[in-house]
A and B are shown apart, each in its own frame.
Chain A
Amino acid sequence: GDSVTQTEGLVTLTEGLPVMLNCTYQSTYSPFLFWYVQHLNEAPKLLLKSFTDNKRPEHQGFHATLHKSSSSFHLQKSSAQLSDSALYYCALRLSNTGYQNFYFGKGTSLTVIP
């Protein structure tokens, strides 16, 4: 079935170090991939989404590349900031039907320490 796997439940990093949060997926169709971020006591909100033309999406210093060969959409940032501490969800949406369901991974909690 269609699913998303985030292998790390908890990640703790020192400020200034690079960030990489893993996301792999299984999909019967060519999917759209997303990263959502949820700060403490806030609603999840969209951080990044994949493009159909293989451009690399970027936002707030974060970027992710959709690799269909490895079914991955890892989230990366060159230098972690304290304000990046949050819960990050990778999500998948099936694209070749009118069906609009979004499948989410279990999330990765990122804590950035000074």
Chain B
Amino acid sequence: NAGVIQTPRHKVTGKGQEATLWCEPISGHSAVFWYRQTIVQGLEFLTYFRNQAPIDDSGMPKERFSAQMPNQSHSTLKIQSTQPQDSAVYLCASSLASQNTLYFGAGTRLSVL
């Protein structure tokens, strides 16, 4: 079991460019979560899928952030027109529906210059 896999580990974009972050959940896990991690805000919830369906995107900045889960083996988080304040570590986590445990990936560190 390779755990939750996130790619790339690091991404550097220029202001205004697009960034796409990838997440492969643990096989068999039906819930996938995206969080943004910063020193100031800690772990901020972005969005959540269950059985590939979007359940809650209340944490997503609406204009520029979007997330999809086209199949059970991967999810993407897309940020359009990136801004310096988007710089953060983006963490993906998955869990079994019957468990109270989140398994996190190592994260993607996004740096917007």
Binding site for B on A (CB under 8 A): 6, 32, 34, 36, 42-46, 49, 89, 91, 93, 99-107
Contacts and interface: CB of A to CB of B under 8 A. Distances in A.
B105 A43 contact: yes
A89 B43 contact: yes
B42 A107 contact: yes
Interface residues of B, number: 26
A43 B103 CA distance: 9
Contacts of B101: 46, 49
Interface stretch (B20-28, B48-56, B70-78): B48-56
Contact of A44 (B31, B43, B55): B43
Nearest to B31: A100
A102 B33 CA distance: 9
A107 B42 CA distance: 6
